[in-house]
């Protein structure tokens, strides 16, 4: 009953957040169009962003191996706050959603005394295992770009931090064709770390380096903390 309630609540929350995000996108688009006719040099790069990453894992226990394609998806909006009259430096504050998957040989099993972790090296019929997280993200960026009021193709360097709240996390495995999955309470609720986005026009390189661990400190394998510090590298697209 508890799991059903959580799944229903989580789905409702995610639907609500998507509605808020896309409502904000509509408002920002209208705002940007209105400002295109402004005769001043001050302008706003309010943007909708989409990103895809490959998720590496640092600070891993001995015996851990990443497998398959560990990917991440992110989407949201950023409000631009110019810091000077030219608009070339600014702050960006955003709101978004993210999905991150980590495929590896780490298997999590739900027991009456908690969650037990093991490696799949000696498990016959092992096919794959992953950790899946759903997050609300709040990026904060210091933004530099060589754009102007009339120039919409420009170089940018956005550096900052991203704070995220894990709405839900699941451990899933496939062994001998049998699927198993459950809500993993060992995943830390809050994630945070610095980000860098650099590129030209719509196409940009994205880097996120987690300072926080993916797992809580009490999550262990062979009496060793699992740790896990995500490192996500990919591309991010900014759309006015």
Q: What is the pLDDT of residue 30?
A: 40
Q: What is the pLDDT of residue 223?
A: 86
Residue of 198, 228, 210, 107 lying closest to 162 (CA atoms)? 210
DSSP secondary structure letters along the chain: -HHHHHHHHHHHHHHHHHHHHHHHHHHHHHHHHHHTT--SS-----EEEEEEEEEEEESPPTT--B-S--EEEEEEEEEEEESSTT-SEEEEEEEEEEEEEEEBSEEEEEETTEEEEEEGGG-TTEEEEEEEEEEEEEEEEEEEE---SS----EEEEEEEEEEEEEEEEEEEEETTEEEEEE-TTB-SEEEEEEEEEEETTEEEEEEE-SS-SB-TT-EETTEE---EEEEEEEEEEE-
Q: What is the pLDDT of residue 151?
A: 72
Residue of 10, 137, 13 lying closest to 75 (CA atoms)? 137
203 with 237: CB under 8 angstroms? yes
> Alpha-carbon distance 214 to 228, whole Å?
5
Q: What is the pLDDT of residue 87?
A: 82
> Alpha-carbon distance 211 to 230, whole Å?
8
For the chain, 240 residues long, the average pLDDT of each consecutive 10-residue run is 43 50 45 41 81 95 90 96 88 97 94 90 87 97 87 88 97 91 95 96 94 93 90 93
Q: What are the beta bridge partners of residue 141?
A: 92, 160
> Alpha-carbon distance 224 to 89, whole Å?
45
Q: What is the pTM for the complete model shown?
A: 0.79
**Domain segments of the chain as ranges:** 2-239
């Amino acid at each position: 009953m508890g799991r059903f309630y959580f799944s229903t609540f989580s789905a409702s929350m995610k639907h609500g957040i998507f509605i808020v995000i896309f409502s904000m996108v509509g408002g920002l688009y209208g705002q940007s169009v209105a400002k295109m006719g402004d005769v001043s040099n001050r302008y706003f790069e309010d943007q909708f962003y989409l990103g895809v990453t490959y998720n590496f894992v640092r600070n891993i226990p001995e015996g851990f191996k990443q497998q398959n394609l560990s990917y991440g998806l992110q989407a949201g909006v950023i409000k631009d706050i110019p810091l000077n009259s030219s608009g070339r430096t600014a702050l960006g504050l955003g709101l978004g959603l993210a999905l991150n998957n980590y495929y590896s040989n780490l298997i999590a099993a739900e027991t009456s005394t908690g969650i037990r972790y093991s490696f799949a090296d000696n498990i016959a019929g092992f096919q794959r295992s992953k950790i899946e997280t759903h997050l609300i993200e709040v990026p904060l960026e210091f933004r530099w770009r060589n754009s102007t009021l009339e120039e919409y193709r420009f170089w940018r360097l956005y550096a900052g931090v991203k704070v995220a709240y894990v709405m839900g996390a699941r451990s899933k495995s496939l062994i001998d064709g049998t699927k198993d999955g459950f809500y993993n309470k060992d995943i830390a609720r809050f994630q945070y770390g610095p980000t860098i986005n650099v590129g030209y026009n719509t196409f940009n390189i994205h880097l996120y380096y987690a300072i926080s661990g993916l797992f809580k400190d009490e999550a262990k394998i062979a009496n060793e903390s699992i740790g896990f510090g995500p490192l996500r590298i990919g591309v991010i697209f900014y759309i006015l």
